[in-house]
A and B are shown apart, each in its own frame.
Chain A
Amino acid sequence: MWRLAWKGAFSLKFRAFLVILGVAAGCFSLTAMGAMAFHFHKLASRFESAVGGKIFIRERSGFFGAGAIDEQQLLQLKKEPGVSDVIPLMVARLHAHEIFVIGFPEITLGIPLEKIPSLLKDVSFLWGRYPENPEECLLGINIATQEGMHPDSFEYEGKKFRVAGVLARTNGPEDEEMILPLSSLQAVLGRHRLVSYGVVIPQNENQADTLAETLGQKYTLWQVVPPSLLSREIKKSAVLWNFLTLGTGVLSAFIGGILILVVMMMAVRERIKEIAVSSIVGASRFQIFMGFILESLFLSFWGSLIGLTAGFSAVTMANGIFAKQGIILFEPNLKLIGYAFVLSIGLSLFGGFYPAWYGASLEPAEALRR
C-alpha cells in the first residue's frame, strides 16, 4: 500500500515539489521562531533568577542613565530594619551611539570592587578571576567574542582596563556586560559619588515585598521596585515575546497544513476516476482513505525534514555569524525540532484527513459518471 501511496504522492512532481517547499517554509519558520522564543525564554528565566529576591532602587526621573542617586544617601538604607546589604551600581551604555537593540543592550556595569564576587556568585568564568584593583575589568562572553576572547585589555571611554577574566555564557544580561569597579566607572564618567541605582538585599527574601513597600513610603524621591513586580514584568515580556515568535511559527506551519489540504483536495478531485477504479478493482474505503493519508504524510515528512534541517542549520549559522557582533538570537535545540516535527506531521494529518475522507466516501458508479 505504501508503495502505491508513494507513487501517488509524487505522480505530479512539480506539484509535490511545491507542497514540500510550502511545508518546508512553514517548518523553517517554526524552527527559527521557536529557537528565538526558546532563547528569550531562557534570557527571561536567567534575568528573573538574577534579580529574584532583590529590591531595586532607582531615581524617579532616570531611565537608564548614570549618576542619578547620591551614593552616600543610598548607603543610608543599610540602617533600615530588615536590610542585609545595599549595593550601589552604576550603569552606562558601552557604546554611546546604540539606540535600539534586540534583547539586552551592551552595558558597562560599575560594582563596588569588594561586592563583585558576591553579586556574580552564580556566574562561572570562561577564564580568569575577579578584578583585584580599580584598573581591572571583567567581560561578558558576547563582548569578549568581539575582542578575540582573550584580550589583554579593553578600552572604555578612552581609558584602557586590564581584562581580569571573561564570564562564561549565562544567556542573561551578564553576556553583554563590561564589569568595572564602581569607583573606576564613576571616575571615567566624571560622576563621583553618584550611582544609577541600588540593589537592596533583604534579610529575609520572603518579606522583600513588604520591605520594599516600607522603603517606598519613606524614600519618596526614589522608585523602589519590589521583586514581585520585577518578576511580573519579566514574565509579561517573556509571554508577549513567546506569543509573537511562537505564534508566527505555528501560523506558518498551519499554512503548510492548509497547503496540504488544498493540494490533496485537488488531487482527489483530479483523480476521481482513479479512485472509482480502485474501488471497482477491490480497494476498500479504508484502503482509499489510508492511501491519501499516506500521500499527505509522505509530502509533509519530506517538507518537515527539509524545513527543520534548514531551519536548524540556519539558526546555528546565524548564531555563529552574529556572535562575532555580540548578538545571540536563537537557542536551537533538539527538543524544539521534535515538537516542530510532531506539529508538522499532525497538521499534515489534519490537512489530509478531509480529502482522504472525501475520496473514500465516493460511490464508484457516481465517480465514474463525473
Chain B
Amino acid sequence: MSFLLECLNLVKAYQTPGGKVEALRGVSLQVKPGEFVCVTGRSGSGKTTLLNCLGTLDLPTGGSILLNGQNCDRLSEKQLLEVRRHFLGFVFQQFFLVSYLSAAENIALPLVYQGYSWRNAVEKGVKILEKVGLLSHAHQPARFLSGGEAQRVAICRAISAEPKLLLADEPTGELDTATSASVIDLLKAQRIKGIGLLIVSHDPAIVQAADRVLRLEDGSLNQDTH
C-alpha cells in the first residue's frame, strides 16, 4: 500500500544566538490512507516543528518528505502551494478562524483561493456545516462561536477542499473534555473517506483514539506505543 506521507531521516536545525539547535534529529514516519497517527511528546520536543515541515510550511535542513509519493524537496513554491491546496488540511490549537467572516465563509476560504466563486464556496461551506450539525451557526460571525464550535468549523475548513491528509496541532488543547470528544469524533469520521490523520497532541483521549502513537523526545521518534 502506498503512503500518503512518508518522511525519512528528517532533520531540522535552527541557528540561535546560543548556537545550533537541532529540533528534529532523523525523524522517519509514514501515514497510510485512513490511518490515524498521533505524535505525542513533551513541550519543546519538536512536535510543531515536525508538523510544519510535514505540512510544507517550513523547510527541513535534511532528510526527505514524500507527500503522495512526490518528493517535496524537488517541488517549486507554486507546486508546494498546489500540494497545500489539494492534498493537505490543517487544524490548529487556537482555531485561527477569521473573526470577521461567518462560519460558512471561513470554510469557503480554501475554495475561494482555489478559484471557486464566493457564492459557490459559501454554499459548499453551508453544506459541510449541515453535515456536522452546525447549520444554525453557518452565518454567525466566527468571533461569536464557542471553542468547540470554532474548532469544528476549523476542521470543516481543513476538509472543505477534500484533502488526503489532515495535519492537526493540539486540536483539543483549548477545549474541555466533552467538547474534545465531539472534535475527536469529527476528526475520526474523516478516516472513512480515506483521509489520513496525523495529530500532534498531549490529549489522552486522542492518544486513545489513534491507530498508532509515536513519541517524540528531543527531536527523535524513539518509540511506537501502539
Contact = CB atoms under 8 A, between A and B. Distances in A.
A145 to B, nearest CB: 54
A4 B58 contact: no
A7 B101 contact: yes
A66 B52 CA distance: 89
Interface stretch (B64-72, B112-120, B204-212): B112-120
A278 interface: yes
B112 A1 contact: yes
Chain A interface size, as a band, is 20 to 34
B113 A280 contact: no
B84 interface: yes
Contact of B112 (A4, A8, A276, A363): A4
Contacts of B118: 3-4
27 contacts: A3-B118, A4-B101, A4-B118, A8-B100, A273-B96, A274-B96, A274-B98, A277-B98, A280-B57, A280-B84, A281-B85, A281-B110, A281-B113, A281-B157, A281-B158, A282-B84, A282-B114, A282-B161, A283-B113, A284-B78, A284-B81, A284-B113, A363-B57, A364-B57, A365-B52, A368-B57, A368-B92
Interface in A1-58: 1, 3-4, 7-8, 11
Given A7-B101, A273-B96, A281-B84, A365 B57 contact: yes
A30 B19 CA distance: 56
Interface of B: 52, 55, 57-58, 78, 81, 84-85, 90, 92, 94, 96, 98-101, 105, 109-110, 112-114, 118, 157-158, 161
A9 B213 CA distance: 44
B113 A278 contact: yes
A287 interface: yes
A291 to B, nearest CB: 10
Contacts of B84: 280-282
Given A277-B96, A281-B157, 16 more contacts: A1-B112, A3-B118, A4-B109, A4-B118, A7-B100, A8-B100, A280-B84, A281-B113, A281-B158, A282-B84, A283-B113, A284-B78, A287-B113, A364-B57, A365-B57, A368-B92
A127 B101 CA distance: 65
A365 B59 CA distance: 10
Contacts of A4: 101, 109, 112, 118
Nearest to A2: B118
Contacts of B99: 11
Contacts of A276: 96
Of listed B57, B110, B161, residue having the most chain A CB within 10 A: B57
B85 A282 contact: yes
A7 B118 CA distance: 12
A282 B110 contact: yes
A277 B158 CA distance: 11
Contacts of A3: 118
Closest 9 CB pairs of A and B: A11-B100, A282-B85, A365-B57, A282-B113, A3-B118, A281-B110, A365-B58, A277-B96, A365-B52
Contacts of B101: 4, 7
B16 to A, nearest CB: 13
Nearest to A364: B57
A365 B92 CA distance: 12
B13 to A, nearest CB: 15
B22 to A, nearest CB: 17
Nearest to A285: B77
B136 to A, nearest CB: 21
Contacts of B114: 282
A281 B90 contact: yes
Contacts of B110: 281-282
A277 B157 CA distance: 11
Interface string A251-292: 000000000000000000000011011101111100100000
Nearest to B53: A365
A280 B100 contact: no
A287 B105 CA distance: 17
Contacts of A284: 78, 81, 113
Interface string A100-143: 00000000000000000000000000000000000000000000
Contacts of B96: 273-274, 276-277
Contacts of A273: 94, 96
Nearest to B161: A282
Contacts of B109: 4, 277-278, 281
A1 B117 CA distance: 8
